[in-house]
Structure 1
Amino acid sequence: MSGKVFGVALGPGDPELITVKALNCLKKSEKIYYPATQSSKGNQDSFSLVILKQLGVEENKFVPITVPMSKDRSAAEKAYADLFLKVQKDVGEGKQVVVVSEGDISFFSTFSYLLEDFRKNSVDFEMIPGVPAFILGGSAGKLALATQNDKLLIAPDIEDEEELKSLLEQNQTVVLMKLSMVRDWIKVFIQNSDLKFFYGEYLGTQKQFTCTDMESLKDRKIPYFAILIFYGNK
């Protein structure tokens, strides 16, 4: 059997939301690389590993891809370069290997950083899609994210309130991801705007919390794994 690498999406957190194809691929693979973050104190954390451990896959296949938590992207770029070399070696040896990401494999995914090197070096790969967090957010909030000619925008990083106001004027639905980056001002913005919103954190996990009112949100510390959906802006 010739070697191949699969980018496999794990979904947003609920192990039942992984696709049948993705789960079958994990079970058939010989090695599974998963992203993990490392704090300045050396502590390692991985949302992907939490999902993997609930899927009944052999844990001796798991290999962490450790990326230090830092705004300096050089450490992350080195980690991705090292991962590519490991995967290239595995594929050259005829192995079927997987690189996983939570959510969807083409949406803010570790795998996306490997695509150019795979193509340049003729590494055979396949991408298996999954459910991103904002899609689960729509279901958890019992929302229609878009109908007919509605415009839906996904924004991972907003500079300030003025930028957000502009985006809301141009789109019926705006999804904010990586919400912890705007936690300093977003609650005041919501309170002053009187817009309909859905807030969700750790969606699909036992730590899931959701709300649609400011009273429930005002005293919460917004984590990295949180989204905010503004909807009905017509």
Structure 2
Amino acid sequence: MANTKGKVYGVSLGPGDPELITIKALKTLQHSDKIYYPASVSEKKGNSSFSLPILRELGLNDLQLHPIPLKMSYDRSEAEGAYYALFEKIQEDINQDLHVSVVSEGDISFFSTFAYLLKHLKANAISYEMIPGVPAFILAGAKSKLPICTLSDKVLVDPNVDSPEDLLKRLQENDTIVLMKVSKVKDWIADFILEHQPELFYGEYLGTDKEFITDDAEVLRDRRIPYFTIIILKKLKKDKG
């Protein structure tokens, strides 16, 4: 039987700039009793959160804010466990007639760990709503001052490139490649770009005070490329067709 008391909202924060949150998302957060946000747990660096500075900049009360501790790992079983523990807390919240928001950077349905929570909400007939937002690669397109695509251009958003050969094949098959989660390419991406000469946009921590952007592949040779990085490669017109 469906619970008709509280409600859960999956709220998109946007890519980092607090002003890029939607009006609907902001109003939802302002009227939430609790806001759960992801916080990375690292043995070397301690706890950190990309979401927390955005929430504070939006003027939300710290008493509303509750971290979801997540270890940074390609092994997603720990994230599954963290989100099941969150689900159990949310069950208690909605039984107390609370409105609860769970936030995600970018868009809530686009490479978001909210998916781990979603299956528990659906299985238990808990009422929820997902509020869309601006993904980081859309901000990257604006920062590049170039269109990501026009007319019949094919665009591939790719979080998992294994090799230069793999990337070259995908660039030949598409007009624009958006690389996310770029840890696999960081050791060779500069050489690849300099050899094949695609149009480049590179951006770190877009929309934040740590933002760095460039279109110069040489700069990337010795640069430490962080997790929150977007790379856009566009096939040059002479290579199309």
Q: TM-score, normalised to structure 2's length?
A: 0.93
2:213 counterpart (210, 213, 234): 210
State the partner residue of 2:139: 136
> CA offsets per residue over residues 123-170 of structure 1, 9 Å max, x none?
100001110100000000011111111111000111111111111111
Q: Does 1:192 align with 2:195?
A: yes
- Structure 1, 119-128 or 41-50: larger mean CA deviation: 41-50
1:102 paired residue among 101, 105, 116 = 105
Where 1:157 maps in the other structure, the secondary structure is coil
For 1:182 and 1:219, the matched residues in 2 are separated by: 13
* Amino acid across the alignment from 1:67: L
Of residues 163, 166, 179, the one that matches 1:176 is 179
* CA apart distance, 1:20: 0.5
Q: 2:69 aligns with which of 66, 89, 94?
A: 66
SS at match of 1:72: coil
Question: Does residue 29 of structure 2 align to residue 35 of structure 1?
Answer: no
Q: Distance in 2 between the 1:180 and 1:53 partners?
A: 29
Residue 49 of structure 1 corresponds to which residue in structure 2?
A: 52
- Deviation, 1:232, is 3.8
Q: Aligned partners of 2:222 and 2:155: how far apart in 1?
A: 28
CA distance in 1, matches of 2:10, 2:38: 12
Given residue 14 of structure 1, which amino acid in structure 2 is its aligned partner? D
Partners of 1:42 and 1:84 in 2: CA distance: 27
Q: CA deviation at 1:118?
A: 1.0
Aligned residue type for 1:12: P
- DSSP 3-state at the match of 1:53: helix
Distance 1:180 1:206 in 2: 22
Aligned with residue 84 of structure 1, among 87, 93, 96? 87
Pairs aligned (count):
234
1:200 aligns to what SS in structure 2? Answer: strand
Contact conserved, 1:38 with 1:69, CA < 8 A, in 2?
yes
Query: Is the CA contact 1:10–1:104 (under 8 Å) kept in the aligned structure 2?
Result: yes
Distance in 2 between residues matched to 1:182 and 1:147, nearest whole Å = 27
Against the structure 1 CA distance between its residues 210 and 7, is the aligned structure 2 distance closer, same or farther, given a 3 Å change threshold?
same
Matched, 1:148 2:151: yes
Tell me the residue number matched to 1:159. Answer: 162
Query: Match of 1:203, SS?
Result: coil
**Identity over aligned pairs, percent:** 54
Letter in 1 for 2:74: K
Structure 1 residue runs of 5 or longer lacking an equivalent are none
1:78 aligned counterpart, secondary structure: helix
4+ residue runs over 3 A deviation: none
Report the AA paired with residue 167 of structure 2: L
Kept in 2: contact 1:6–1:97 (CA 8 A): yes
Aligned equivalent of 1:221: 224
Note the C-alpha offset of 1:42.
6.7
Change beyond 3 A, Cα 1:140–1:42 = closer
Kindly state the Cα deviation for residue 181 of structure 1 after the two structures are TM-superposed.
Answer: 2.7
Deviations 1:180-213 (A, max 9, x none): 2321111111111111110000000011111112
Q: Is the 8 A contact 1:172 1:232 kept in 2?
A: yes
Give, in whole Å, the separation in 2 of the partners of 1:73 and 1:109: 12
d(CA) in 1 for partners of 2:60 and 2:174?
41
